[in-house]
Structure formats: C-alpha cells, structure tokens
Structure 1
Amino acid sequence: MPPLPLWLSLAFAFGVAPLLAILALTAVHFVLDRLLAQRHAPVLRQVLCQGRSALAVAVGLLAVQAALPAVELPGALAAAAERLTALALVAALGWALTRKVAAVFDAYLEGNAGADENWLIRRRRTQLIVFRRLAIAAGLAITAGLVLTAIPAVRAVGLSLFASAGVAGIVAGIAARPAVSNIIAGIQLALTQPIRLGDAVLVEGEWGHVTEISSTFVTITTWDQRSLVVPLGYFMERPIRNWTKTSSQLIDTAFLYVDFTVPVEAIRAEAKRILEGTKLWDRRAFAVQVTDIRERSMEIRVLMSAANSGDMFDLRCLMREQLIGWLAREYPQGLPQERLELARPTQRRAA
C-alpha cells in the first residue's frame, strides 16, 4: 500500500483524530448531564460543568499522540510533533485537573452562600476560599514545573544556575520570605480562624468588615467605604478586635453625663421606652446604672444589645439623641453645671 501524502497524514493526525475524540467526549458529557439532571448532586454537577474546555484540549492532544505512530511522517517532523504534543498534553492535563479541583471548592462555596449572620457559614466560606486559592496555586506551580523539566534546554539551564549560584539562591530565598510567610499565615488563618469573611473587626484604629481574604492580604472595607489592605502576617503577629468572632450579636453601652439632681429612675424609664420603640434592640440585655461620680456630674451607663454591629451603631446613636432631647424637655438644668457660691463682703463698722 503506497504511503499517504504528507498533507493527508497531517490532516488525519491533527484534524480528524482529535475531532473524533472531542465528539466522543461531548457525547459522554451529554449522557452524564442527563443522568445528573434528576439527582441532587451539586458537587458532581459542578465538577462535570467546569473545566470542559481544558479536558477537551487534553483529549484532543491524547488523540493526536495516539494517531502519530499510525501515520508516516518524516523522522525530524515526527520527533518534533511528539515532543510538542507531549508538552501540550502535560499542560492541558494540569489545567483540566486544576479546574476540576477548583470546581469542588466552588460547589461547596455555593452551598454555603448567604446567611452572613451565621458565623459557622462564614467560617466554612473563609476556609474554602483560602484552600481553593492554595490548591489552584499548587496546581499551576506543579504543571509549570513538569512542563519546564520536560524541556532539556530549560532543565539544563536551571540545573546549572542552581549549581553555580548558591549565593543567588540564598538572596532569592530571603527576598521571597514575605511571600512565603504570607502563604503560611494564610494556612494558619484558614485553620485557626482569627477572622472570617464578613467579620466586623477593629484594625489599626479602623472599624470595618472583612470583605476579601486573598493568598497574601486581607481587605477590610471601613464604614466610610474605604479599603484597608492588610498583609496576612499581620493577623498572626498582632492583636485585633473581632466583634463577631463567636456571634454577630453584640452588647454595648452609651454614656450620659448629667447633673446630680436628675433622677436616675426617670432616665431608666425613658431609656426603656426608647428601646421598646425601635426594632434595632433585640431584647437580650438592658440596664441603666450610675457607673461613676465626678466633681460636677454623674456618669450614667445605658447598656443594650443588638443583633449585629450595624444595628448596634445605629442604636447607640439613637439612644444618645433621644436622651439628650428628653433631658432638654424635661430637665433643662440636667446637664452638668458649674456651682459657685459668692460670699457677701463684710461691712465695715463705723469708726
């Protein structure tokens, strides 16, 4: 049998074979989609849907490698084609596997969406996001390493550099120390959970919510919509104030400084009336107490509770405004006053 023309061999190896393989993969995906459509299997459906392009490329390259020995190509062309398809196949398989691993994390993230007030859900979401990014970074690094080591020229250059540049390696290691420490801090943060997505925290005197946890930094959106970007290592080395570590519910206080003549029972009754008239109070805690007596005033502490930090801030402001207005109406002289007593001058007796 006479050999096939070169163009026909190339068309079969690089066109027909991968096309047939991709069509077969499409049929398999169609069948699996129909089987999983009636089942509650979110993880399997997510894994099946994501990474299809990468898997199709990998299957096509695998078909090319299988078809190359069957066609008669010149020696140099055959060796180059096998080398290139092998490298591309490794890259495509790494890409597809990384996408499938990320799909598992994405499925669990979708299952834990919403319910920002539930600290258990926020804890799981934080762990899933951190480990998802670490898994993707590890997959990309391993794939790139396998591809580079499969190229003889690059491998030889890399080995010679490592053998002859020990000092440069030490310098590079020192320079990479912050990045490595941030990666380790990210793993520690995912395991120990000092902060989570959605937590209300006080960092560097700024109050805000944790809106993003990346592999190297944490973004905190402050109350005035600014972004405070903090390295991950900060949370492992310095103390922070987490208002929602175990629960979103909070107990806080509002202070009032009044004159000694204002009756405390009247303040207590008015504060209770203010709380009962607003939905910001969750009815868990309430108290009005004299916590300090100073030279010209007494300190009244109004203790109250709210479901989250936002409601608590609004509740404290409402309590201050309402109590000040009530004092101005009912006890106009109730604010701290200066008391002076003027002694009458002694009258001189007539000589």
Structure 2
Amino acid sequence: MQSYLGTIVAALAAAAIALFAVEVAHRVIRRVGRRSLLLTELTDHAHRSIQVAATVVAVQFAVRFSTGYAVGDQWRQVLLHLLVLGVIASVAWLVASLLVVAEDTALARFRVDVPDNRHARRVRTQVVMLRRLTIAVIVVLAVGVMLMTFPAVRGIGAGVLTSAGVVGVVAALAAQSLLGNVFAGLQLAFSDAVRLDDVVVVEGEWGRIEELTLSYVVVQIWDDRRLILPTSYFTSKPFQNWTRTEAAVLGTAEFDVDWAIPVQAMREELRRLAEGTELWDGRVCVLQVTDATGGTVKVRALVSAADAGSLWDLRCLVREHLVAWIRDHRPTAMPRMRTEIGDVESNLPWQWVRPRRPVRRRTDADVPDDARVFGGSDDGDARSEAFVGPDEPADARR
C-alpha cells in the first residue's frame, strides 16, 4: 500500500509540476511574442497539445522511477504500458499541432483578399492538401507504433510480412478509385490546374472552387448551390478555368437585327455605355458583325471586366441598353421578315431602286478600334500574336 501511495503522490506531483511549467512558459511566450506571428500561433493552437504531452511524459517518468520495480507487479506493468501509449498519442498530437502552426504561419504571408491573389491561392491550395496528408500520415504512424508495443502484434509480424504481397494487391484493387482520387488531388494541388477560389465552368455550371480535398472538390455555383465532384474529374475531363492566369475575362452579347442597323452608331453607343459604367475595366470594347444570313444581321458586342462577376453584370447591362436603344432610336433595325409581291419583270414603280453615289470605303487605318478584336490597340495586337503567331521570316516566304 505504501508503494501504491508513493507512486500516486509522485505521479500527481509530476503532473502538477509539468502543468505549472507549461503554463508559465505559455504566459511568458504570449507576452514576449505579441508581435511575432509564429509565437502567437504557437500559444493559440499548440498550448493544449503541449500540456497533454508534458503531463503524460512527466507522469510516466514519475511512475517509472518513483519506487523499485518488481517483476510481479502486474499493475505497474499495465500502467506503464498505458502511459507509453499515452506518450505516443500525445507526441503525435503535438507534432501535428506544430505542423499546423508552421503551415498557418506560412499561409499568413500570402493574402487572398487582394485583387491579384493567384499565387496566394495556389500556395494555400498546396499547403491545405499537404496539411491533410501529413496529419493522416502522422495518425497512421502513431497507430502503427502503438500497436507494435503489444507483444502479440510483434509476434505475428513475420506472417503479415509474408502475406504482404497478396494483401497489397487486394487492397490496391479494392481502393483503386480512392487512391486514384488521392493522387488526382495531389496532382491538382501541384500542377496549378485549379486552385481554391478559381472560377470554373463544369458540367455546364458556372461557379468557384470552394473546397479542394484529396477525394472530392466542392464547386460553389453562382446561385449558392454546391456541386461536389471527385478530384479525378478534373484530371480526366475538360473544364473551363476562367482565373488560371488572371481574373480579367472577356464576354459577349449577341443581337439579331435587321440589315438597316447603323453599325457605327451602335458601336458608338456601346462605347458610351462602357465608359459610363464601373463594371468595364477599360481593356476591350468591340462591336462587330459576325454573320449576315437568314434575313438578319448578327451583331456581337465584346466587352471586358476585372472578374467573372462583373463581366456577368456588364453583359446583362449591354443587352438591356442596346435593346432599348434599338427599340427607341432605331426601330427600323428591329428584326423582321420581309415579303415582296410584284411583277416578275420589275415594272412596278416601287421596284425601281435609284442608284446611289459611290461611297468611299474606309482603309484599315480608318477602322476604329471598337471594330477590331485582333488589332487596333495594344491589347488587340497582343491577342493577335497569341492566336495567329509571329510573322513568317522573309526567307521562308521565298
């Protein structure tokens, strides 16, 4: 009984000393590290794990060295084994907490609440994926080490290693889909194909990457629905990423109008509209006739915006304004079907067309910038080189 009481007193004293030392260190670090992000994160996120690890280690040493150890003391052997398991679990928790602190400190250097946050979102995606992977590895290793402390488990180790080949093949076949998603998640994180907060179009839905894990990806659709896809989807099927290089994008608004439409007047109206709204980023504002078949003329307005949300509102604004402009100022340009009934020989007076004076055609230098997508401005020239390619050398044309 005296041995029991001595062990209990020693364990309680060791736990109290460990808790007191950790608390003092915690307060000192908190006061000293007010301006240090690393020390602040350490005191906020690793305090509990350090308390538990220090207490368990102190109790284990107190029980082991408080009194002499006899072979017949089965209770002491069981208690020490439990304490060893506690030490392994608490140390694993401590290592995981320290890794989380280090990752949070690294992530704090990359802000995502700024306009140009592509690099920050890529780093955040990679760090989040590595955090989940490292925590999973730490848990697996801790469980493995805890199991190896049991003699029965060590005894069957040879048999397990002998059948490891067969078990590995069966496990690989059973977890083929899961492992495929895991490797796909790592590939997405480090290939920079998709990142957190990227604006994408998948399965005909437009949204942003809200969550990216090792097994699935959550896409927040523009109407607040959630589309959940396996990570292997993004490595096996095509999808649109609107913010892979930058957030600025182009968008179109198309109109079917009559041949009587004054294209230049409509182009000038589009320019006035774009310059009068904050949704336009000032890069591209072009109006072109892209088709003229079937009795109507297809006019396409191409505008640019700083991000996908602004572009959506800008496209809707362009449609509403130009539709109202055609209705109020150019009603003859509204789409209509023509039917003519007359003499085959064109002898009726209304079938005669008075010849017009020849109109001077504009040269390429006279064409306004609003009528050219590939040229006419610095942005258009850059787009022309990107899609057409550099000019051929003189020797190649000969």
TM-score (norm 1): 0.90
Query: Residues 49-88 of structure 1 correspond to what in structure 2 (within 5 A)?
Result: 49-67=44-62, 68-72=64-68, 75-88=73-86
* Identical counterparts, % of pairs: 35
Q: CA RMSD in A?
A: 2.1
Q: 1:329/1:159 Cα in 2 relative to 1: closer, same or farther (>3 Å)? A: farther
- Distance (whole Å) between structure 1 residues aligned to residue 340 and residue 278 of structure 2: 47
Greater Cα shift, 154-163 or 318-327: 154-163
Does the alignment pair 1:122 with 2:118?
Answer: no
Q: Give yes or no for contact 1:250–1:308 (8 Å, CA) kept in 2.
A: yes
Matches within 5 A, 1:1-351: 5-37=2-34, 39=35, 41-67=36-62, 68-72=64-68, 75-115=73-113, 117=115, 118-156=117-155, 160=159, 163=162, 167-343=166-342
Alignment correspondent of 1:349: none
Cα 1:53–1:345 change in 2 (3 A) is: closer
Determine the C-alpha separation between the residues in 2 that align with 1:284 and 1:45. 44
What SS does the corresponding residue of 1:333 show, helix, strand or coil? helix
* Structure 2 SS opposite 1:11: helix
Q: Which amino acid aligns with 2:41?
A: Q
Provide the rounded CA distance (Å) in 1 between the counterparts of 2:342 and 2:157.
95
How far residue 79 of structure 1 moved from its aligned partner, in angstroms, is 1.5
**Contact 1:185/1:232, CA 8 A, preserved across alignment:** yes
For residue 255 of structure 1, report the CA deviation from its aligned partner: 1.1
Aligned length: 341
Deviation for aligned residue 1:116:
5.5
- Residues 77-102 of structure 1 show CA distances to partners (whole Å, capped at 9, x for unaligned) of 22112211111101110111111101
Q: Is this contact kept in 2: 1:25–1:56, CA < 8 A?
A: yes
For structure 2, which runs of at least 5 residues remain unmatched after alignment? 346-398
Q: What corresponds to 2:370 in structure 1?
A: none
- Asked if 1 retains the 8 angstrom alpha-carbon contact of 2:285 and 2:304, the reply is yes
Q: Which has the higher contact order (CA 8 A, sep 6+)?
A: 1
| 3-state SS of paired residue (2:302) | strand
Distance 1:115 1:165 in 2: 49
Q: Tell me by how many angstroms 1:345 deviates.
A: 9.8
Unaligned runs of 5+ in 1: 347-351
Q: Using the alignment, how far apart are the partners of 2:221 and 2:138 within structure 1? A: 34
Cα deviation per residue 1:288-317 (whole Å; 9 max; x = unaligned)? 111221131111111111010000011101
The residue identity in structure 1 corresponding to 2:125 is T
CA deviation after TM superposition for structure 1 residue 111, in Å: 3.6
The one-letter amino acid of 2:295's match is R
